Chains A and B, each alone.
Chain A
Amino acid sequence: MTLRASTLQNWFIPVSLIVAWQVLGQAGLAPRYLSWPGAILAALWELAVTGELFIALAASLYRVAVGFTIGTASGILVGLAAGIIPGVRHFFDPLVSFLYAIPKVAFLPIFLLLFGLGHASKISIIAFSGFFPVFVASRHAVMTVNPLYVWTARNMGASPRTVFFRVIVPAAAPHLFAGIRIGLAHAFVVLFAAELIGSKAGLGTIISYGEEWVRFDLMFAGIVCFAVLGFVSDRILMAIRQRVLRGHLVGTEEGALP
């Protein structure tokens, strides 16, 4: 196996950053709050051995998974309905255009008071913030389906049901995934803010615990877990998209997205 120059260049900055971080951190030349990779790995191991890591991970994962599923499912359902039925569209359009520009995190104190410090408040605010991008994407996707496709299918005697499942949904799918991806990114931002501002469990709690007790290695361990969780979720979503949209993406701009 030969190493290509471009591969070497690809790895150059990340690897040298980590090596510099490790060397400077361990030698005590970097500020203490930066910790160093070795200590962070040790902290991760410590958290894993005591089992705290898995409890926190499970809490965060549970919140994201349930909240994101509720938000996405309702966003798709209402968005598709709004795209097809004018009555639904006229009800939701003004509401969404008003609420869309507002960061949903601003509602966090209200959700915290309504649903408490436990899972329910995080799940509901994640679902709330995930709804909007998915709604907008699916509404837009249905509205921009080429009417020729629908007419053609109708002309060949397809029932409204068949038209919906075999024409509208497949044609709208690429846009849908774009909206779902934004929803997923929002979910993690909101989760982080919610766990840091008011929570008793989850990765955010590990981070704030590390800050409070000046255990920067613990803080970074929480940050690393959070980043990995977000990254892996996005990759899974993209893998699902690749499978669902096989052939749809060839030669399009969306096929090249990172």
Chain B
Amino acid sequence: MIVQARDILLRWYSIPFLLLTWQIAVGSGLVESRLLPSPLRVWTVFIAEVANGALPYHAMVTVSRALAGFAIAAVIGIPFAALMAQWALWRNLFEPIFFLGYPIPKIALYPIFTYIFGIGAPSKIAFTFLECLYPIVVTCYFGFRGIQTRLVWTAQNMGAGRATILRRVVLPAALPSIFAGLRVALPVSIIVVVITEMIGDSIGLGFYINIWSTRFTFANVYAAIIMIGICGLILDQAMLFIRRRAIYWQKEAA
């Protein structure tokens, strides 16, 4: 019992320790409290903003945009990668776009998206789609290419048709890499939506951060940051849950 408690204390002391230091530093007036509001103040603001619905509303906006872009990227990207792995012409046509385009910071293209799609949700969703498409296509492509041919041969030998092989052999074999790509893309979608909302919008958590920082009310900024962290955590856990359901035969530590 005591050993366990000591163990937990040893592993988790840093966050309460830092929060306490922060609280004392602000409380004693060592640190300017406008810029660095005390944890207690941030917590009361967070609770108040959740209770009056402001933070949940902006979080819903941000998360729904992120998920929309992410979902379109997944629906288009996974079959796209399968085609790239299967069909030489398709691969030759698109390989340079995905492999040379991969390291290009695509965020630079965002201003053009605002001209094409306007400043609201469509430009955010379209841009999130682009940013998520790259990790999904590249990871899934390697996944589809890495499928052992003997698995396909075995199925063929047992008289399976093309559709059966795709559904029962290729897809399950590629699922781990598909989920790897999706798990990389999911946090990217949140990051991208928050950034683009900070650059210009009138709703969403990025906007919320911007507007409260121009009002020099940093407790609200920290509250929004906490909210983003919670959203990211929930999305990642949901993804892991779906992954465990889909790839039930593979037990892998996250």
Among A173-202, those with CB < 8 Å from B are: 185, 188-189, 192-193, 196-197
Q: Which residues of B contact A103 (CB under 8 A)?
A: 187, 190-191, 194-195, 228
Q: Please pick, from A13, A109, A235, the residue contacting B94 in the complex, using a CB distance under 8 A.
A: A13
**In the docked arrangement, what's the CA distance between A252 and B14, Å?**
38
Contact of A109 among B104, B111, B190, B213 (CB under 8 A): B213
**What is the 8 Å Cβ interface bit string for chain A, positions 81-119, against chain B (1 contact, 0 not)?**
000000000111111001101110111111011100000
Contact A256 B104 (CB under 8 A): no
Q: Determine if B161 is an interface residue (Cβ-Cβ < 8 Å).
A: no
Binds B, one of A4-12, A47-55, A69-77: A4-12
B98 near A193: Cβ-Cβ < 8 Å: no
CB <8 Å contact, A188 and B107: yes
- Interface CB pairs A-B, < 8 A, 22: A6-B88, A11-B96, A31-B116, A90-B13, A99-B229, A103-B191, A103-B194, A105-B195, A106-B224, A109-B209, A110-B221, A189-B107, A189-B195, A192-B105, A193-B198, A197-B210, A207-B111, A211-B111, A227-B105, A230-B103, A233-B103, A253-B146
Interface 0/1 of B106-124, CB less than 8 Å to A: 0111111001100000000
Q: Which residues of B contact A (CB under 8 A)?
A: 10-15, 18, 35, 88-89, 92-100, 102-105, 107-112, 115-116, 138, 142, 146, 187, 190-191, 194-195, 198-199, 205-206, 209-210, 213-214, 216, 218, 221, 224-225, 228-229, 232-233, 236
Q: Which of A12, A105, A220, A234 contacts B198 (CB 8 A)?
A: A105
Inter-subunit contact A107/B225 (CB<8 Å)? yes
Q: Decide if A193 touches B233 in the complex (CB within 8 Å).
A: no
Is the pair B191, A95 in contact by a Cβ cutoff of 8 Å? no
A101 with B213: CB separation less than 8 A: no
A253 and B103 form a contact (CB under 8 A): no
Summarize A's interface: helix, strand, loop or mixed.
helix
A6 close to B14 (CB less than 8 A): no
List of A residues within 8 angstroms of B107 by Cβ = 188-189, 192-193
Q: Tell me how many residues of A have a C-beta within 8 Å of chain B.
A: 54
Known: A11-B96, A189-B195. A110 touches B213 (CB 8 A): yes
- Asked whether B103 lies within 8 Å of A33 as measured between CB atoms, the reply is no
Say yes or no: A110 contacts B15, CB within 8 Å: no
Query: SS class of chain B's interface: helix, strand, loop or mixed?
Result: helix
Complex Cα–Cα for A13 and B112 (A): 20
Residues of chain B within 8 A of A66, CB atoms compared: none
A256–B108 CB distance below 8 A: no
What's the nearest-Cβ distance from chain B to residue A197, in Å?
A: 6
**Of B109, B191, B221, B225, which is in contact with the most chain A CB atoms at under 10 Å from its CB?**
B191
B121 to chain A, nearest CB (A): 18
Q: Give the distance in Å from the alpha carbon of A106 to the alpha carbon of B198 in the complex.
A: 8
State the Cβ distance, A54 to closest chain B Cβ, in Å. Answer: 18
Task: Considering the complex, give the chain A residue whose CB is closest to the CB of B214.
Answer: A109
Residue of A nearest to B205 (CB): A106
Contact yes or no, B92 A6, CB < 8 A: yes
With contacts A109-B221, A227-B104 known, what are 4 further pairs, Cβ within 8 A?
A: A34-B115, A101-B229, A102-B228, A223-B112
Cβ B99 vs Cβ A12 within 8 A: no
Q: Is A61 an interface residue (CB 8 A)?
A: no
Q: Which of B10, B191, B218, B228 contacts A189 (CB 8 A)?
A: B191
User: Hey, which chain A residues are within 8 Å of B10, CB to CB?
Assistant: 90
Q: How far is the CA of A90 from the CA of B224 in the complex (A)?
A: 27
How far, in Å, is A192 (CB) from chain B's closest CB? Answer: 5
Collect the chain B residues with CB atoms within 8 Å of residue A105's CB.
191, 194-195, 198
- Give the docked Cα–Cα distance between A230 and B221 (Å): 30
Name A193's closest neighbour in chain B (CB-CB).
B195
Cα A127 to Cα B57 with chains together (Å): 32
Whether A95 and B18, one on each chain, are in contact in the complex, defined by CB atoms closer than 8 angstroms, is: yes
6 closest A-B pairs by CB: A109-B213, A234-B103, A9-B92, A101-B232, A258-B99, A230-B105
Is A151 at the interface (CB under 8 A from chain B)?
no
- Cα separation A233 to B105 with both chains bound (whole Å): 11
Contact mask for chain A residues 107-145; partner B; CB cutoff 8 A; 1 contact, 0 none = 111101110000000000000000000000000000000
Contact A258 to B102, CB < 8 A, known contacts A101-B233, A105-B191, A223-B109: yes
- Decide yes or no: A94 and B195 within 8 Å by CB, A185-B105, A231-B103 being known contacts: no
Determine if A44 is an interface residue (Cβ-Cβ < 8 Å): no
- Asked if A109 meets B210 with Cβ closer than 8 Å, knowing A6-B92, A219-B111, the reply is yes
Contact A197 B199 (CB under 8 A): yes
Q: Given the known A-B contacts A33-B115, A231-B104, A258-B138, are A12 and B228 also in contact in the complex, defined by CB atoms under 8 Å?
A: no
Please tell me if the beta carbons of A13 and B103 are within 8 angstroms of each other in the complex. Answer: no
